[in-house]
Amino acid sequence: MTMDMGDPRAERLEMVQRQIVARGITDPLVVSAMRTVPRHEFVPEELRDLAYDDRPLPIGRGQTISQPYIVALMTELAELKGEESVLEVGTGSGYQAAVLAEIAARVYTIELVEPLLRAAAATLVRLHYRNVFPRLGDGSLGWKEMAPFDAILVTAAAARRIPKELLDQLADGGRLVAPVGGEVQTLSVVRRRGKAFERRDVTAVRFVPLLGAAE
């Protein structure tokens, strides 16, 4: 396969087949969202020919856009149907927010690093994602004014435990998907049932560290 950006859509469809469907992502809404969002628009210009590769890519400031499969997996674990209000912690490039926005009603996303937030917000506006609400700030504390959330995705790893502030902002029945750990991290899903929180560990992952007050 040639890797020049002659036909990003063809590359994207092939990426979804080989990296997403072949590895067991079955939710049709997730597969469709991954086929729709132009990942190459969210990576730095000089890396566009790598946009559909099976890997994370640097987006500046020591941060990365996650591997496509991990974006799809986290989205599937959020169990979205269409009416949800979702919080993302760690906007980065804005790509995961766009994938979520293809499915959910509203996506609130918080980023700590100002230049990244600005670039992501500009990309999301350019691509007409009107249901994504990006904000500069410390997402480890959540976004209290907009809570509760039906789903929360944390795209940076909490070293020891998921911040209590985030669990508090989860709606009853809601799902929180987050990597937890230092060197070795586990992608975990927490489901809220009233006052109880049921945690399930899914797979080993590697994310940049979550910073901020709750850490």
Closest to 173 (Cα-Cα) out of 83, 40, 67, 55 = 83
**Minimum distance, C-beta of residue 154 to ligand SAH, in the bound complex (Å):** 8
Instruction: Classify residue 122 by its DSSP letter.
Output: H
CB of 143 to ligand SAH, least distance (A): 10
CA distances from 200 to 118, 192, 196 (A): 34, 12, 13
Q: Which is nearer to ligand SAH, 190 or 214 (by Cβ)?
A: 214
Residue 41 or 138 with smaller CB distance to ligand SAH: 138
Amino acid found at 186: T
Structure tokens at 60: 């500046």
Q: Which residues bind ligand SAH (CB under 6 A)?
A: 63-66, 89-90, 92-93, 95-96, 110-113, 116, 138-140, 155-156, 208, 210-212
1 sits in which H/E element: none
Provide the minimum distance between the beta carbon of 172 and ligand SAH in the complex, in angstroms, as a whole number. Answer: 25
Q: Indicate the residue among 92 and 174 with the shorter CB distance to ligand SAH.
A: 92
Q: Which letter does DSSP use for residue 142 in this model?
A: -
Is 32 in the active site? no
**Three-class SS of residue 211?**
coil
The active-site residue out of 32, 66, 85, 140 is 66
* Catalytic (active-site) positions: 66
